[in-house]
Amino acid sequence: MLNNSKIDSEQLKKFRHEVTRCMLLYKFALAEISTKVNILQEEFQLIHEYNPIEHVNTRVKSPESILKKVQKKKLPLSIPSIQENIHDIAGIRIICSFVSDIYRIADMIQSQEDIDVIEVKDYIKNPKPNGYQSLHIIIKIPVFMTYGEEYVFVEMQIRTIAMDFWASLEHKIYYKYNKKVPSHLTDELKEAAEVAAHLDQKMEKLNNEVTLLKEAEADEETIEDPSDTVKLLYNEIKKIELRYRQ
């Protein structure tokens, strides 16, 4: 009896250690991808004087959520099985101003050599039946530990402010009704998603028009207000012309 208790205690301790190490891996993976996103954000701001990212959120699923997913997928309750089959334990959500920014950020992330793109689900071009819109990308990112390198799955969601607002409210409503939402509310939610999509399109159009106006104004200023160098050159040419005439 004592021997069995000792074995059980040692197994429990080992399993707890493995779970802790596993959670650390996902935490470090999110730190890695967050750093990459921050670098892209600052560089984009410097080069283009524009920030395509409004804000970034990260999260690691709770052990309870992981366990529910294991049971739902009917997976073996082991760390290797969880790591290989559940790809959204670590998640990063990037909120952008415009739809075009979503694809711009996605292209920049996917083009990095140390990131392995596993799956892309475009719920913007192909919204879910309930109206949900977002770009989902499953990636594998390297994490460097003391014992070596490990690649960790991370789910990246990229969406606009309007998409995020809708998704947040939809989640609260489903939670309130314990996922049994009355049909008239689901219809209204879908309609609200369509309104949000229309808003995104309208704001993108307005932004493009403002950009064109700014470019046109900049061109006019360049013509009407030449730089000091151009003014000096113009005056020198006039002086030479006057000398030639004399």
Instruction: Give the side-chain half-sphere CA count within 13 A for 87.
Output: 13
Active-site position among 54, 155, 209, 221:
155
- CA 195, CA 12: separation in Å to the nearest integer? 52
* Tens digit of each residue's pLDDT, the chain (246 residues): 444 444 467 766 777 778 888 899 999 999 999 999 999 999 988 888 888 999 999 999 988 888 889 889 998 888 889 999 999 999 999 999 999 999 999 999 999 999 999 999 999 999 999 999 999 999 999 999 888 899 999 999 999 999 999 999 998 887 777 767 788 888 899 999 999 999 999 999 998 888 888 777 766 655 555 456 556 655 666 666 666 555
What Rg value do the Cα atoms of the chain yield, rounded? 27
- pLDDT of 146 reads 86
- pLDDT of 18 reads 80
100, 55, 63: which is closest to 207 by C-alpha?
100
- pLDDT of 245 reads 59
Verify whether residue 32 is a known catalytic residue.
no
Fold of 2-161: Beta Polymerase; domain 2 (3.30.460)
Inter-residue contact 110 to 51 (CB < 8 Å): no
Helix (H, G, I), strand (E, B) or coil at 22: helix
Rounded to two decimals, what is the model's pTM? 0.80
Question: 135-145 and 53-60: which strand pairing?
Answer: unpaired
- pLDDT of 3 reads 44
